[in-house]
A and B are shown apart, each in its own frame.
Chain A
């Protein structure tokens, strides 16, 4: 029986590491924080090389303006997905809110109310979804899938099935096409939405609670977090974002389009996933979603400039999403 007794190690000492491993881990840390932004930069560089007329300030504004509405929807959806929920209704909620803003305008209400009321309507719809999910324990997928159909129907009902043209000069059209300090207003609204949600998620107790509920609802309950209230609140946030996006859409086309926002829920979810937020909840960053949305925007803008057929664009978008998720999954495998 021979024994070897290595010198008693100080238990506080970290396990021995080679410098190569330290660099590898550092690289992995950097990737998980900045990887997706790097992808965006590479994509921009690529497009600058191959897409005609890609590099210009006005095209940059084009991309961001085109992205702003889905990016705002995606911001709200991020918060829902962080709690391991899902919101499939945002495209339809956008339509209801957009249409109602024009209805209110045509009824002679002041422009401010024509924007505020639809946003609150979005929040109210979110409250309904959230209550059903949190207090009746219905599956978020089902509740918001029902919402996707029902609110689309409501949008059509509001206009009698036809587009509703705004009478006279739409008082809040600047939300869609105005400029503020030489930058289009939709871009400001997008940045403001992300700034506010970043603050709420990173700097408030509510934000910590969202991550906690998404990461481990049972532990959240044991820690005294009002889980149902948090769950309800995230759908309200998503509804608010969809309401704002609806008003922006109506402002841009100066009419209420009951078919607006169709399929946007999928684009929004794609941006969230691209941005690194886990569909399992509890993990992800709101700014990642912004980058994810911009990647989709740059991709589609570049392909349009290159006259890529529409169906090819769809295929490329699908491939990009799968690649993003695959990278995320690999990342998890190597960060044991």
Chain B
């Protein structure tokens, strides 16, 4: 397989040829060729498990390739540790950040090269001034004296990028950098990345978000099942083609919104105010068979509204009615007893029991149904798990497989099953497709639609606007903890939502 590239004035910075890697016999990368030019942003796309991250870990010295070679800056290289790669100018910004949370920004920027007086006395003033200099390229606005943990994820990422620039990185690898960023933060990140490109650096950009890739990338490489599928200049391929290549078949419409016949009001929220989370007063209804999405900027309070309804965040005042009856929901237990389920926003931290098996993860919230006097009926537990594994086509070797070994999409289906097992009347889904590949996204939209068809009320929180517009019957725009607009799912545009979310609409009127 060859990657012919056409002309590039600035030249090739990196050549990866025939990269092959297997983990305990499972082929993860098979004969992959990729080039990176100076001054380009090169997007790597593919479903989870396609090999994007592994390829980058081979580059970054985390894994050693079984076969193939890497040519970097004209020389053959095979980094054996991330430290070595970093010394040579290959820096990876991971989904998990690698800063020290309790140290200040300035201290983090100086890690390993602290300015000192007399050899060991830390020079605080120089530490600070150098930090400000290093933060310059990313546009400032970050207080070097704040501890890292006080910064948002986006800003922490910026600090890491500043550190990379300072270390004169030549290649920067970003793995899903916007996964937990607000729109504003993402935009700032893009500006910084574009500036780095213009300065001649090469950037690898891994993302599931097509719109970002289309805005940023010069070229797009698609991987599938550990193989290189195609590398194209962005202008030469359509988004649908990229998705088709990622999943190996053509997709019909990604989003699903069919056969909706909203019925009686299931959830009626009136003047709800959170005790500590700064939301409210909010009032809204969700009907049976209806998908209602809370949209808005990150930090607007969408998740908090959902959490207050579910009882994880304490209610200050106002009422919640379920099925026409006032519900005092003091915690998730009360919500579950009223057949409410909630898929939280962060799968790994808030939903999964990584070390438990698929069966237990599916049934953990419905064990009461399968037990008497607290003693489990093993056969019924197995059967219940089986049913959802089949219904939702969760791809696993065995129900006793540990859930941490599953792909993001399959994990999310496990979490969904947990609530479907309780025959929910109201299902709250917070970022239901975050970190899920395109194929699984489509399946999750189908499941959501099926639930709506069966008369479940669905309240969705989504930061993915095309998604919210594509699957919802109604959209509630949240700003500063209150609902500022209600839009029709079929008629609204992203601009409508954004103008309300940012407050532009109000000023204009």
Which residues of A line the B interface, CB within 8 A? Answer: 1-6, 8-9, 11-12, 14-18, 20-22, 24-25, 203-206, 208-209, 211-212, 215-216, 218-226, 278, 282-283, 334, 336
Cross-chain contact B376 with A16 (CB below 8 angstroms): no
Partner of B353, one of A5, A204, A212, A226: A212
CB-CB < 8 A to B210: which residues of A? none
Cross-chain contact A204 with B374 (CB below 8 angstroms): yes
Cross-chain contact A1 with B231 (CB below 8 angstroms): yes
Is B259 in the interface zone, CB < 8 Å from A? no
Is B356 in the interface zone, CB < 8 Å from A? yes
B333-380 with Cβ < 8 A to chain A: 333, 335-336, 342, 344, 349-356, 360, 363-365, 367-368, 371, 374-376, 378
Known: A4-B1, A24-B24. A222 touches B342 (CB 8 A): yes
- A16 CA / B356 CA spacing, docked (Å): 25
CB-CB < 8 A to B228: which residues of A? 4
CB-CB < 8 A to A205: which residues of B? 367-368, 371, 374, 376
Among residues of A, the one whose C-beta sits closest to the C-beta of B381 is A208
Partner of A212, one of B26, B364, B375: B364
- A296 CA / B368 CA spacing, docked (Å): 39
Cross-chain contact B26 with A219 (CB below 8 angstroms): no
Partner of B229, one of A5, A16, A216, A225: A5
Interface of B is mostly: mixed
Is B230 in the interface zone, CB < 8 Å from A? yes
**25 pairs, CB–CB < 8 Å, chain A vs chain B:** A1-B4, A2-B1, A2-B3, A11-B395, A11-B439, A15-B26, A15-B27, A21-B22, A25-B24, A203-B376, A204-B375, A205-B371, A208-B364, A211-B356, A215-B354, A216-B350, A219-B353, A221-B332, A222-B342, A222-B350, A223-B365, A224-B331, A224-B332, A225-B333, A225-B364
Cross-chain contact A20 with B367 (CB below 8 angstroms): no
Is B325 in the interface zone, CB < 8 Å from A? no
A209 CB to closest chain B CB (Å) equals 8
Which residues of B line the A interface, CB within 8 A? Answer: 1-4, 6, 22-28, 49, 224-232, 236, 245, 247-249, 312, 331-333, 335-336, 342, 344, 349-356, 360, 363-365, 367-368, 371, 374-376, 378, 393, 395, 397, 418, 439
- A268 CA / B3 CA spacing, docked (Å): 61
B296 CB to closest chain A CB (Å) equals 22
- A12 CA / B1 CA spacing, docked (Å): 26
Partner of A203, one of B230, B332, B378, B418: B378
Cross-chain contact B25 with A223 (CB below 8 angstroms): no
20 additional contacts (CB under 8 A) given A215-B356, A216-B350: A1-B4, A2-B3, A4-B227, A4-B228, A4-B229, A8-B249, A9-B224, A9-B225, A14-B397, A15-B27, A15-B226, A25-B24, A204-B371, A204-B376, A208-B363, A208-B364, A209-B364, A219-B353, A223-B365, A224-B333
